[in-house]
Amino acid sequence: MTNLVEIEDLKVHFPIRRGLFVDRVVGHVYAVDGVDLSIRRGETYGLVGESGCGKSTLGRGLLRLTEPTGGRMVFDGTDLATLKGEDLRRMRRRMQMVFQDPLSSLDPRQSVESILVEGIRVHGLDKGVDLGKTLRDLLTSVGLPHGSLRKYPHEFSGGQRQRIGIARALAVRPDLIVADEPVSALDVSVQAQVINLLEDLQGEFGLTYLVIAHDLAVVRHIADRVGVMYLGGIVEEAPAHELYTDPLHPYTRALLSAVPVPDPVVEDRRERILLTGDLPSPAAPPAGCRFHTRCPWKQATRCDTERPRLRAVESGHKVACHYAEQIRSGELRPHSVEPELVPELVLDP
């Protein structure tokens, strides 16, 4: 399998402006700070991390919906970072996004038909095809009744709205779909339907997915490979099954240990890692390993001075931790962590 997407050292920094009369830049929020990531054609890459870790910004930066500060995003051989104007606009057809909030991301004044047709028209996909049939096929694919075309987004339920959002993305026949928290705004009962729909569509249309989520269960279900993000960087990347059974990075271990196990015997015995302290501000990320302020395996050397690179521990399993092998073998044991005060830097998002 070849790579459809290759991200190298992607950075998205937001300037913080202050000033009474004249705004000046007093700092940056390092939302995404040096991410390498590749997505193979036809696979589903799951990106997990807690709120504010930069996973949504990574998705938007990849599609240049937010302008990246640096780095390369190669999509099917073309560097997106260098594309301009009309070329970028044409390229957008091939990489679509499904947004978290299905209502606010749809123009309230457009009927479903208009929402779907707009993208088709602007990319010239309506030439020589039966538009009515295309639209009906789209609705069938996402499981909406044909009568939906004349309705407006507010007339649908949450799950149906997300189906409209998916149909909208599909309408221009993309190769890549970035799904940013596609189900987190939905009821649990509806989440599974939408996740299954996404899986079915992948097979039907040969899509490649980047699924961004904070819900580990969602990602586990849908993703082939999973990347874990912490404070603007990827700390671990592995095939989904491996990541969940053999997490190497202390942060991943802590995340997974927070998921309850539906077996009372195991649940009582298993080791739980509770993180102390708050998430450091992305405007003043800690030096060295970003996680060292909260890491129960933090060592006296290297951790607070040298930022670990994402390195392959075994084939396909990458981790950004200096001591991953020792932690895995049990040579290093977790210790208690004094909560470190996060320096007060009030930021308006």
Partner 1 sequence: MLRFTVRRMLQAIPTLFILSILIFAWLRSLPGGPATALLGDKATPEKIEALNHVMGLDRPLWEQYLGFLGRMATGDFGNSLISADPVLAEIGRCFPATIELSIVALLIAVGAGIPLGYLAARYRGGVLDNLTVGVSLIGVAVPVFFTGLMLKYVFAIQLGWLPPSGRLDPQIDATHITGFAVLDGLLTGEYDAAWDATLHLILPAVALSSIPMAAIVRITRAAVLDVLNEDYVRTANAKGLDARTVRGRHVLRNAMLPVSTTVGLQIGLLLAGAVLTEKVFNWGGIGSLIAQGIERHDYPRLQALILLAALVYVVMNLLVDISYAIIDPRVRVR
Per CB under 8 A, residues contacting partner 1 are 23, 60, 63, 65, 86, 89-93, 96-97, 99, 101, 104-109, 111, 118-119, 122-123, 152, 154, 165, 168, 172
Which residue is it, tokens 């779909």? 177
CB contact set of 119 (below 8 Å; sequence gap of 6+): 93, 168, 171, 172
Is the Cβ–Cβ distance between 259 and 217 less than 8 Å?
A: yes
* Residue 134 structure tokens: 């295309």
CA–CA dist 125, 114 (Å, integer): 14
Is the Cβ–Cβ distance between 65 and 32 less than 8 Å?
A: no
CB of 173 to partner 1, least distance (A): 12
CB of 90 to partner 1, least distance (A): 7
Nearer of residues 23 and 314 to partner 1, judged by Cβ: 23
Nearer of residues 153 and 285 to partner 1, judged by Cβ: 153
Nearer of residues 54 and 119 to partner 1, judged by Cβ: 119
CB of 203 to partner 1, least distance (A): 24
Helix (H, G, I), strand (E, B) or coil at 329: helix
Pairing relation of β-strands 311-314 and 233-239? unpaired
CA–CA dist 246, 85 (Å, integer): 45
Nearer of residues 85 and 262 to partner 1, judged by Cβ: 85
Name residue 38's beta-bridge partners: 6
CB of 228 to partner 1, least distance (A): 25
CB of 63 to partner 1, least distance (A): 6
DSSP label of 341: P
Nearer of residues 89 and 309 to partner 1, judged by Cβ: 89
Name residue 78's beta-bridge partners: 75
Residue 24: half-sphere exposure toward Cβ, Cα within 13 Å? 5
Is the Cβ–Cβ distance between 49 and 229 less than 8 Å?
A: yes
CB of 93 to partner 1, least distance (A): 5
Name residue 341's beta-bridge partners: none
CB contact set of 204 (below 8 Å; sequence gap of 6+): 141
Nearer of residues 208 and 252 to partner 1, judged by Cβ: 208
Handedness of CA 294, 297, 298, 302 (dihedral sign): negative
CB contact set of 205 (below 8 Å; sequence gap of 6+): 170, 173
Nearer of residues 88 and 273 to partner 1, judged by Cβ: 88
CA–CA dist 104, 267 (Å, integer): 39
CB of 168 to partner 1, least distance (A): 7
CB of 80 to partner 1, least distance (A): 13
CB of 23 to partner 1, least distance (A): 7
Nearer of residues 174 and 286 to partner 1, judged by Cβ: 174
Nearer of residues 78 and 326 to partner 1, judged by Cβ: 78
